[in-house]
């Protein structure tokens, strides 16, 4: 069991509207403030989605490059860009995210129903993402929305080799309407399937909405790591909107400390992830 906890903050996402969630960080200044605050609390990775001047999701290359540069200048966080974008983004724009030169990028391992939409990830696109990250020296986080995505990852690694840095890290995204449920039983089943992946593979778990707390507790007890943030939940408790990403990171840090698995520093996180 890993003795520390890797904490990732996902502060914005592509789903929530700023008008409905006023605390959502959508400008570069808001994102930088959030990053600094969450790093001070114990986050080591920031998973980044961007918004345009109207607070709508964007994969604009200029904004991506500027954001990566600003985060590196202002923090020591590991910068992980989302290659998922919004469900309507074309593959070419999602692949171009890698040109912004992040430390890490997400790589979703298959198509999944996503509420009323479909989050499309064709096999050829997944291969393209994986191999381009190998070439560019970017470490992937393999996002798993369904248990079958782990079998797809086994196939990908067997055919195209290990990611840059040699370490395999996955994130179980649980509780998305249309994906695997955010339950302890499902997380245990997913963890068991990691035995088919390279030795030393690590995992984080993300609980969407009301599954946030059960997934955090299950992941910690199983030796896994945590991803929290307003991308994944905008309600702190029943009837209580999230006030800031700091609030969610602070709770995750508290749980990790109670489990006697304190947050990893950014240096320790880089070592764990093969950066």
Residue 102 resides in a domain: yes
Secondary structure of residue 231 in the 3-state scheme: coil
Decide if 184 is inside a domain: yes
Tell me whether residue 46 is in a domain: yes
Q: How many domains does the chain have?
A: 1
Report if residue 268 sits inside a domain: yes
pLDDT one-digit tens code per residue, 2-36: 589 999 999 999 889 999 999 999 999 999 999 99
Task: Indicate whether 257 belongs to any domain.
Answer: yes
Query: The domain containing residue 164 runs over which residues?
Result: 7-273
| CATH number of the domain that residue 118 is part of | 3.20.20.70
pLDDT attached to residue 2? 58
| Residue 1 placed within a domain | no
CA–CA separation, 267 and 195 (whole Å): 27
| Per-residue pLDDT reduced to its tens digit, 167-206 | 999 999 999 999 999 999 999 999 999 999 999 999 999 9
pLDDT tier, 101 (very low <50, low <70, confident <90, very high otherwise): very high
**CA 87 to the chain's CA centroid:** 16
Three-state SS for 25? Answer: coil
Report yes or no on 15 lying in a domain.
yes
Residue 2 lies in a domain: no
pLDDT of residue 1: 46
pLDDT of 36-90, one tens digit each?
Answer: 999 999 999 999 999 999 999 999 999 999 999 999 999 999 999 999 988 888 9
Q: What is this structure's pTM?
A: 0.95
Neighbours of 53 (CB within 10 A): 9
């Amino acid at each position: 069991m890993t003795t520390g906890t890797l904490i990732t903050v996902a502060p914005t996402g592509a789903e929530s509207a700023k008008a409905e969630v006023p605390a959502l960080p959508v400008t570069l200044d808001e994102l930088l403030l959030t990053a600094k605050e969450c790093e001070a609390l114990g986050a080591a990775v920031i998973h980044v989605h961007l918004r345009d001047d109207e607070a709508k999701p964007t994969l604009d290359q200029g904004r991506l490059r500027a954001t990566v540069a600003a985060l590196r200048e202002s923090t020591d966080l590991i910068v992980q860009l989302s290659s998922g974008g919004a469900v309507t983004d074309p593959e070419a724009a999602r692949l171009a995210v890698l040109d912004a030169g992040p430390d890490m990028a997400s790589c979703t391992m298959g198509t999944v129903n996503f509420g009323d939409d479909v989050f499309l990830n064709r096999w050829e696109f997944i291969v393209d993402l994986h191999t381009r990250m190998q070439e560019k020296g970017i470490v992937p986080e393999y996002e798993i929305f369904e248990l079958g995505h782990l079998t797809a990852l086994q196939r990908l690694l067997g055919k195209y080799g290990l990611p840059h840095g040699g370490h395999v890290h996955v994130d179980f995204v649980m509780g998305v309407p249309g994906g695997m449920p955010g339950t302890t039983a499902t997380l245990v089943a997913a963890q068991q399937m990691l035995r088919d992946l390279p030795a030393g593979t690590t995992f984080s778990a993300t609980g969407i909405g009301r599954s946030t707390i059960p997934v955090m507790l299950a992941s910690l007890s199983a030796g896994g790591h945590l991803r929290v943030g307003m991308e994944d939940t905008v309600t702190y408790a029943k009837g209580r909107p999230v006030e800031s990403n700091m609030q969610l990171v602070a709770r995750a840090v508290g749980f990790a400390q109670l489990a006697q698995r304190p947050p990893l520093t950014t240096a320790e996180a880089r070592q764990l992830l093969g950066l």
